[in-house]
Structure 1
Amino acid sequence: MTTSQLHIALLAFPFGSHAAPLLTLVQKLSPFLPSDTIFSFFNTSQSNTSIFSEGSKPDNIKVYNVWDGVTETNGNKPVGLEAIKLFIQATPTNFEKVMKEAEEETGVKFSCIFSDAFLWFSYKLAEKINVPWIAFWTAASGSLSVHLYTDFIRSNDETSLNIPGFSSTLKISDMPPEVMAENLDLPMPSMLYNMALNLHKAAAVVLNSFEELDPTINKDLKVKLQKVLNIGPLVLQPTSPKKVLDACDERGCIIWLEKQKEESVVYLSFGTVTTLPPNEIVAVAEALEAKKFPFIWSLKDNGIKNLPTGFLERTGQFGKIVSWAPQLEILNHSAVGVFVTHCGWNSILEGISCGVPMICRPFFGDQKLNSRMVESVWQIGLQIEGGSFTKIGTISALDTFFSEEKGKVLRENVKGLKERALEAVKPDGSSSKNFKDLVELVKCHKLT
């Protein structure tokens, strides 16, 4: 079995928006590595099916299905936390088994293990074969930082926290639930706590962000970890636009935006997982109808049924509802004036990259923390009053961006961050330099 060829093991966390960014990163790395490099992508069957559309798999990526931990479904496939629990219980043996098969099939030993940072046990797998472990953190620098401060946060009796790079308004209530879990032995809290304890063993931690966004946090992370490589925003790297534009045309989003005034449109989207509660859908709908702001709302069928009776007919002249929205193309359009979001990291980074201020309605995970950063640290948006949508609160937030001086300031702030992001991905920018470092690290065959 040869060791001269690069063979990179990619270990994905198959839930939420984790696996797809890892694939995106691989596709961006591939052109900078030897042409015979092999990428073996390890993920559950269900997640692989969702991210590899028919005919989309690159030739140099070999896709392997790892066991999801489910033994007997009786026709009812586990979902949500139960599915995550079963998967975590199956690790790391589910990965080890298929990784061995991949080496035998290719005849090439692994030269590097590149995993989602959640999969902290990857360091053990890498140590066994004496190769580098590179961890990919798919969220913000700030959310990584608070996990590394888990013990400090849990032992703190204050309602506000003093952690480098955060606003003085940071509260215990902003913390991801895993940090504050009553029992750290539960599957998800345990996984993230073990990650925090072992991440310093990674040869590098890669983030889809840029150093200039969180300079103090990144300085602190570099003290705690071997190497911190911000290589984003990945959305500002070259992509193939045709597929996205075709999707836009299919739903008529861009054609519709072309008819709107500059910075006049409200774009609403809450990610692929979250659905607003029915009462909040009604509140948002009533606010949009009352103000008659032009809007595009990405809303699935199970949400559309909760709209007020006659809403679609009454707002048809100034609003557009689609079941799926080509988000990046929409945010990039000059007609969009504000982005109403759940504060998932990909969405926030896209908002920053396109220079669009935000109205935040977080739900779970790191979203509350991201929302706090948007409002209090970067000052590029607002958290919705009271944490959930009401008609009055939504109208007030929208008015801030379209009728008040504060909205202009927030808009200028986010445009400033957009410029810094663009600088970071230029050939001599911080993210480009970090990306080159990552390429060199991946080329290393053995730990020294």
Structure 2
Amino acid sequence: MVKMDKDEQKPHAIFVGYPLQGHVIPAVHLAIKLASKGFTITFVNTDAIHHKTSEARLDSSAAAADDDDIFAGARKAGLDIRYRTVADGLPLDFDRSVNHDQFMASLLHVFSAHVEVLVGKIIKSEEPPVTCLIADTFFVWPSMIAKKFGLLYVSFWTEPALVFNLYYHIHLLRSNSHFACQDKRKDTIDYIPGVASIEPTDLTSYLQDTDTTTVCHQIICKSFEEARGADFVLCNTVQELEPNTISALQLEKPFYAVGPIFPTKSFVATSLWSESDCTQWLNTKPHGSVLYVSFGSYAHVSKEEIVEIAKGLQLSKANIVWVLRPDIVVSNEGDPLPDGFREEMGERGLIVQWCRQMEVLKHPAVGGFLTHCGWNSILETISCGVPLLCFPLLTDQFTNRKLVVDDWRIGMDLCRRKNQVTKDEVADKINRLMSGKDGEKYREEIKRLRKTLENAMAVGGSSGRNLDRFIVELMERTAAASHQSKEVRI
């Protein structure tokens, strides 16, 4: 454990999280973890994320007197975390999920100017002096702003190391005609350092796209140019889960696996929706009888897919907790569920708009998770020992599915190709996962991975050691830079 001398200057990090639910949660809790190790943190949210978080707290009657500052409780607990917000370039009531491309374009072209102004103000007005800028890897500006203000740049990657590695070597995919060319190769990819082999269908959705001129592709390419200029990379993964990939990346730059980054304190609100408490309903169900269903915080599912999944859930033998966001289907047709579904499920089903996912997954009644394969969800379900039924929708989720199904063997595909989902397959796969021999096999494997996560998070575990090593090296770099600066002034 890193201990700072009383005379030693505290490191002060400006921390900017990417304005999506799946990125904000680990960013907030990494900030708490660093503050608990002696950092001063100035955490920067967008106005829109802050607004949605505040609304969710009000809706759930969880708002405190200091509802304009999500870290007020953290400071009361003795942590030095300041809180600032900045505009992302769009009105608060703009629907960023439905208008994804406009949102991404604003982050690409406008947001950086607002961040740059704010960083300048923080550096001029706050003590202790700012040491480094920690920013989500998907931002396209961090190394530029860090250089302008003489800060070290720490890139925070919220997805598995495998996905970082694929994007980091996008030039190899391009030069080998597996990306951004008219006649893309479909054979196995075996030339990425640290990756024995991967199929093109297991690449992220953006690396599989034929149109690579979109705003999201511009962001990915520019952000990984920026990542090459990072002084350090912190990754929300575990060394023992991805040893070869991480070892290869460590040859490129200081890369630290510091995950899984889970909420360790309850005094910071991070949810963008009001959270339902499912405990009372779960308490009425037999051990391992409930399938938890959630497709995450951002991706959309077609009405046809929702209908087939719903019919499959009806046909299965499982009890169901289904998180169904109001905007899960981009449609004006009202309820996306089939007529009579809620009534026919009766006591077998609980449908909520959002919930405390970890609390649900930890409950002994839960025996399986039908998931979009978001990385936070995968880490959480491993830590709770619940096997997965995989239904990836976009971005890193296809690559995450490969890790779950092919590499770790802790779950199965719902359907390898998303657009072929049928009610009969849904019912069959659920029954096999929940009560068949497949489910038993996956539960045994996930017990092993759960132990791996527990060991990594334990005192002296790999993730704690990696975080401590990062802090030592950051402070050494800061001290060296300060010494050089004094020599120049002399």
- TM-score, normalisation: structure 2: 0.81
Identity %: 26
Q: State the partner residue of 1:124.
A: 144
Partner of 1:255: helix, strand, or coil? helix
Amino acid at match of 2:256: L
Given the alignment, which residue of 2, 19, 30 partners 2:24? 19
Q: 1:5 to 1:354 in 2, by over 3 A?
A: closer
Given the alignment, which residue of 389, 400, 403 partners 1:370? 400
Aligned runs of 1:422-437 on 2, under 5 Å?
422-437=454-469
- How many Å apart are 1:93 and its aligned residue? 2.7
Given the alignment, which residue of 143, 149, 153 partners 1:133? 153
Q: State the partner residue of 2:343.
A: 313
Q: 1:4 to 1:241 in 2, by over 3 A?
A: closer
Q: 1:185 to 1:398 in 2, by over 3 A?
A: closer
Q: Is the 8 A contact 1:132 1:446 kept in 2?
A: no
Q: Is the 8 A contact 1:269 1:342 kept in 2?
A: yes
- How many Å apart are 1:76 and its aligned residue? 6.2
C-alpha distance in structure 2 between counterparts of 1:387 and 1:183, whole Å: 19
Given the alignment, which residue of 238, 244, 256 partners 1:229? 256
Aligned runs of 1:146-165 on 2, under 5 Å?
146-154=166-174, 155-156=176-177, 157-162=185-190, 163=192
- How many Å apart are 1:418 and its aligned residue? 0.6
Q: State the partner residue of 2:206.
A: 178
Amino acid at match of 1:238: T
C-alpha distance in structure 1 between counterparts of 2:386 and 2:445, whole Å: 10
Given the alignment, which residue of 42, 46, 49 partners 1:47? 49
Given the alignment, which residue of 87, 112, 131 partners 1:111? 131
Q: Is the 8 A contact 1:131 1:447 kept in 2?
A: no
- How many Å apart are 1:267 and its aligned residue? 0.6
1:353 paired to 2:387:
no
Q: State the partner residue of 2:486.
A: none
C-alpha distance in structure 1 between counterparts of 2:267 and 2:403, whole Å: 31
C-alpha distance in structure 2 between counterparts of 1:283 and 1:447, whole Å: 60
Q: Is the 8 A contact 1:166 1:373 kept in 2?
A: no
Aligned runs of 1:385-400 on 2, under 5 Å?
385=415, 386-388=417-419, 389-400=421-432
Q: 1:302 to 1:189 in 2, by over 3 A?
A: closer
1:203 paired to 2:234:
no
Q: Is the 8 A contact 2:48 2:87 kept in 1?
A: no
- How many Å apart are 1:207 and its aligned residue? 1.0
Q: Is the 8 A contact 1:176 1:365 kept in 2?
A: yes
C-alpha distance in structure 1 between counterparts of 2:21 and 2:264, whole Å: 24
Q: State the partner residue of 1:299.
A: 324
Q: 1:275 to 1:120 in 2, by over 3 A?
A: closer
Q: State the partner residue of 2:353.
A: 323
Please tell me the root mean square deviation across aligned C-alpha atoms, in Å: 2.9
Q: State the partner residue of 1:284.
A: 309
C-alpha distance in structure 1 between counterparts of 2:213 and 2:409, whole Å: 36
Q: State the partner residue of 1:239.
A: 265
Q: 1:89 to 1:251 in 2, by over 3 A?
A: closer
Q: State the partner residue of 1:261.
A: 286
C-alpha distance in structure 1 between counterparts of 2:369 and 2:168, whole Å: 30
Q: What are the Cα deviations for residues 363-399 of structure 1, in whole angstroms up to 9, with x where unaligned?
A: 1111111112211111111122232431011012112
1:274 paired to 2:288:
no
- How many Å apart are 1:91 and its aligned residue? 4.8
- How many Å apart are 1:447 and its aligned residue? 5.4
Q: Is the 8 A contact 1:111 1:446 kept in 2?
A: no
- How many Å apart are 1:427 and its aligned residue? 0.7
Q: 1:345 to 1:313 in 2, by over 3 A?
A: same
- How many Å apart are 1:306 and its aligned residue? 2.3
C-alpha distance in structure 2 between counterparts of 1:49 and 1:446, whole Å: 38
Amino acid at match of 1:57: F
C-alpha distance in structure 2 between counterparts of 1:252 and 1:83, whole Å: 31
Any unmatched runs of 5+ in structure 2? 1-7, 58-66, 178-184, 329-333, 482-490
Q: What are the Cα deviations for residues 212-239 of structure 1, in whole angstroms up to 9, with x where unaligned?
A: 11111111111122x111111122x633
C-alpha distance in structure 2 between counterparts of 1:393 and 1:441, whole Å: 51
- How many Å apart are 1:400 and its aligned residue? 1.9
Amino acid at match of 1:421: L
Amino acid at match of 1:271: G
- How many Å apart are 1:419 and its aligned residue? 0.6
Amino acid at match of 1:9: I
Q: 1:302 to 1:77 in 2, by over 3 A?
A: closer
C-alpha distance in structure 1 between counterparts of 2:450 and 2:371, whole Å: 18
Aligned runs of 1:400-419 on 2, under 5 Å?
400-419=432-451
C-alpha distance in structure 1 between counterparts of 2:215 and 2:122, whole Å: 27
Q: Is the 8 A contact 1:282 1:307 kept in 2?
A: yes
C-alpha distance in structure 1 between counterparts of 2:396 and 2:450, whole Å: 22
- How many Å apart are 1:164 and its aligned residue? 5.1
Q: Is the 8 A contact 2:70 2:268 kept in 1?
A: no
Q: State the partner residue of 1:7.
A: 12
Q: Is the 8 A contact 1:295 1:319 kept in 2?
A: yes
Q: Is the 8 A contact 2:47 2:92 kept in 1?
A: no
1:194 paired to 2:222:
yes
Q: What are the Cα deviations for residues 52-105 of structure 1, in whole angstroms up to 9, with x where unaligned?
A: 6625323433333334234xx799666311111122112533221111122233
- How many Å apart are 1:198 and its aligned residue? 4.0
C-alpha distance in structure 1 between counterparts of 2:382 and 2:170, whole Å: 28
C-alpha distance in structure 2 between counterparts of 1:96 and 1:74, whole Å: 21
C-alpha distance in structure 1 between counterparts of 2:194 and 2:118, whole Å: 41
Given the alignment, which residue of 212, 216, 225 partners 2:240? 212
Q: Is the 8 A contact 1:340 1:359 kept in 2?
A: yes
- How many Å apart are 1:19 and its aligned residue? 2.7
Q: State the partner residue of 1:337.
A: 367
